[in-house]
Amino acid sequence: MATRPRPISSRFLFLKAMALFVFWILLSASFEWVHLGLGLIFSFAVAWINSGHSLFVPKFRLWLRILLYLPWLFYKIMESSLHLSKLILHPAL
């Protein structure tokens, strides 16, 4: 059964966009009108797409994220395993 996204209020969308815009300003540290305008546009676009009501959000996004997460998880498990083996087998211990 498919679940429908909860309706998002325009106030919450505005607050999320403003938080993203402040984050944009902090990261860019540029107060030129072009950068501020682009930051404002992209902040609202990201907030709207992230709300789940966009046509650009595919339904299979969860499965795609899982498929991208599993190789990363496997890599991190192997990396930590090799690091732990190195610590255990090191002759200085």
Q: For residue range 24-78, list pLDDT tens digits in order.
A: 888 888 888 888 898 899 898 888 877 766 565 566 677 778 888 999 999 999 9
DSSP states along 36-92 = HHHHHHHHHHHHHHHTT-STTS-TTHHHHHHHHHHHHHHHHHHHHHHHHHHHHH-TT
Cα separations (Å) of 63 from 57, 60, 68, 90?
13, 5, 9, 41
What pTM does this model have?
A: 0.49
